[in-house]
Amino acid sequence: MATKKSKSRKSRRKVLFILSLIAVILCLPASLLLIFTRLQQKPEEISPMENIIEETLSTERKTEVISETEPETQPETLPPGTVTGISLSFYHAFLHVDDVSVMPVVRMSPDDAIDISEIWESSDETVATVDKSGMITPVGAGECQIRVTSASNPDIFADVNVKIYSDDEDLPDPDTISCSGSPRDDIQVIGGITYVQGIMLVNKTYPLPASYNPHGMTSETEEAFSQLCQAASEEANLSLFSHSDFRSYQTQVYLYSDYSSQYGSEAADRFSARAGYSEHQTGMVIDVNWPGDAFNDTPEAIWLEQNCARFGFIIRFPREKEAYTGYKYESWHIRYVGKELAEKIMQSGLCLEEYLNVMSEYP
Ligand SMILES: [Zn+2]
């Protein structure tokens, strides 16, 4: 019995072994074929659900990549402190052959860039030359580009488009001029005077040439101011008058040197402009009644702030805007910009520098 039993067990094992061998032989090519066809499959043949999973995964991957690279604005290959950008205070200059030189203010980014030295070159020195500091001097009629390049990173540069007019040609009108193809086309230096969106701009970044002299208030400014004074008297029984309006370049030379010798140049820079950088030279500015902090919050100052825009004036250096204007609050210093713009600026609560998106810092 025992031998019979073990014999039949042995033959059963043999059968099982053969059966499983057949199963393996049959299944192996099938599974190989399945793997092979799966590899051959195009993405669109994958079922929609698989697609969604794939998309989700790749989005997650993308998000990971973005969040990893976002804080890093520069490629990893650049060492820290490398210059990665240049911006200029203007990109267009229209000058007469005999005009004074102009010099754009250069800003290199990032703020902690280590080597910010500049290389200047002119594309045509028969039209305009440029010196090592970026002083652009007209030579002859024509057009050229003045390029500033970062000495530490030659891939980074910016161009000033310069057009020089012969003395008998008229310079373009700031209201009608149009440029294209470079950043901040709305900032134009015409005959050494900066216009932004057609408005004459004078601050610590944008000076006037020493020769600019309207010999007094412009007629529009004078007319608008007299209407303002009349309204203050009729509507509020307040007496407003000009303490100081137009000041020539020469007057400002004396005034600033007097202030800086009295208070030091750092203090003087907060309330007085260096010659060429004073808005009073435009003939569009008035210091009303008595310049000084004692004027702040007087009925006259309050009325002036609430009503000046109706006559085309703005409070040029408003409260808490010193970071933009470069000057502490001056309730008495008003600038004529025309009614339409004055209303917009005063309603916006912005100072002129914010409104035009320009800087005001001595170079
Ligand atoms: Zn003033």
The alpha carbon of 251 and the centre of ligand 1 are apart by a number of angstroms equal to: 13
Q: Is 298 exposed, middle or buried (0-12, 13-18, 19+ CB in 10 A)?
A: middle
Rounded Cα distance, 305 and 303, in Å? 6
Q: Domain for residue 124, yes or no?
A: yes
290-346 pLDDT, tens digit each: 999 999 999 999 999 999 999 999 999 999 999 999 999 999 999 999 999 999 999
The alpha carbon of 101 and the centre of ligand 1 are apart by a number of angstroms equal to: 27
The alpha carbon of 133 and the centre of ligand 1 are apart by a number of angstroms equal to: 31
pLDDT band at 55 (very low <50, low <70, confident <90, very high): very low
Residue 50 has pLDDT above 50, yes or no: no
Rounded Cα distance, 331 and 318, in Å? 7
Residue 276 has pLDDT above 70, yes or no: yes
Range of the domain at 347: 219-356
- Of the three residues 200, 227, 243, the one that is the final residue of a domain is 200
Residue 264 shares a structural domain with residue 342: yes
pLDDT band at 12 (very low <50, low <70, confident <90, very high): low
Query: To which residue do tokens 């529009």 refer?
Result: 220
The alpha carbon of 165 and the centre of ligand 1 are apart by a number of angstroms equal to: 34
- Of the three residues 147, 169, 200, the one that is the final residue of a domain is 200
The alpha carbon of 331 and the centre of ligand 1 are apart by a number of angstroms equal to: 10
Specify the pLDDT at position 66: 34
Specify the pLDDT at position 31: 52
Least Cα distance to 178 among 195, 157, 200 occurs for 195
Average pLDDT of the chain?
85
What would the two tokens of residue 19 be? 């059966």
The alpha carbon of 124 and the centre of ligand 1 are apart by a number of angstroms equal to: 41
Specify the pLDDT at position 80: 85
Specify the pLDDT at position 24: 53
Specify the pLDDT at position 183: 81
The alpha carbon of 200 and the centre of ligand 1 are apart by a number of angstroms equal to: 16
The alpha carbon of 66 and the centre of ligand 1 are apart by a number of angstroms equal to: 50
The CATH number of residue 340's host domain is 3.30.1380.10
The alpha carbon of 110 and the centre of ligand 1 are apart by a number of angstroms equal to: 34
Residue 161 shares a structural domain with residue 114: yes
The alpha carbon of 271 and the centre of ligand 1 are apart by a number of angstroms equal to: 8
Report the Cα 19 to chain-centroid distance in Å.
81
Residue 186 shares a structural domain with residue 309: no
Residue 242 shares a structural domain with residue 295: yes
The alpha carbon of 285 and the centre of ligand 1 are apart by a number of angstroms equal to: 7
The alpha carbon of 310 and the centre of ligand 1 are apart by a number of angstroms equal to: 20
Crossing angle of helices 219-236/299-307, nearest 10°?
120
Rounded Cα distance, 8 and 20, in Å? 18
Specify the pLDDT at position 13: 65
Residue 174 shares a structural domain with residue 124: yes
Residue that wins the pLDDT comparison between 65 and 127 = 127
Query: To which residue do tokens 């997650």 refer?
Result: 60
Report, as an integer, the average pLDDT of 208-228. 97
Residue 6 has pLDDT above 60, yes or no: no
How many residues does this entry show for the chain? 363
What would the two tokens of residue 221 be? 């400014």
pLDDT band at 49 (very low <50, low <70, confident <90, very high): very low
Residue 258 shares a structural domain with residue 332: yes
Q: Which stretch of 63-67, 263-267, 272-276, 320-324 has the lowest confidence by average pLDDT?
A: 63-67
In total, how many domains does the chain have?
2
Residue 265 has pLDDT above 60, yes or no: yes
Q: Domain for residue 155, yes or no?
A: yes
155-207 pLDDT, tens digit each: 999 999 999 999 999 999 988 877 777 788 899 999 999 999 999 999 999 99
Sheet-wide strand order for 313-317 = 242-244, 285-288, 330-336, 313-317
The alpha carbon of 241 and the centre of ligand 1 are apart by a number of angstroms equal to: 13
Residue 231 shares a structural domain with residue 343: yes
Rounded Cα distance, 82 and 9, in Å? 83
The alpha carbon of 94 and the centre of ligand 1 are apart by a number of angstroms equal to: 29
Residue 155 shares a structural domain with residue 244: no
The alpha carbon of 171 and the centre of ligand 1 are apart by a number of angstroms equal to: 29
What number of other Cβ atoms are within 10 A of residue 214's Cβ?
14
Taking the model in full, what pTM does it have?
0.74
The alpha carbon of 222 and the centre of ligand 1 are apart by a number of angstroms equal to: 15
Rounded Cα distance, 324 and 226, in Å? 30
Q: Domain for residue 232, yes or no?
A: yes
Specify the pLDDT at position 175: 83
The alpha carbon of 224 and the centre of ligand 1 are apart by a number of angstroms equal to: 17
62-98 pLDDT, tens digit each: 333 333 334 445 556 788 889 999 999 999 999 999 9
Residue 156 shares a structural domain with residue 272: no
The alpha carbon of 202 and the centre of ligand 1 are apart by a number of angstroms equal to: 12
The alpha carbon of 286 and the centre of ligand 1 are apart by a number of angstroms equal to: 6
Specify the pLDDT at position 274: 94
DSSP-derived pairing of the beta strands 187-190 and 136-138: unpaired
Specify the pLDDT at position 185: 87
The alpha carbon of 330 and the centre of ligand 1 are apart by a number of angstroms equal to: 8
pLDDT band at 2 (very low <50, low <70, confident <90, very high): very low
The alpha carbon of 122 and the centre of ligand 1 are apart by a number of angstroms equal to: 38
The alpha carbon of 232 and the centre of ligand 1 are apart by a number of angstroms equal to: 20
Report, as an integer, the average pLDDT of 46-73. 38
Residue 124 shares a structural domain with residue 182: yes
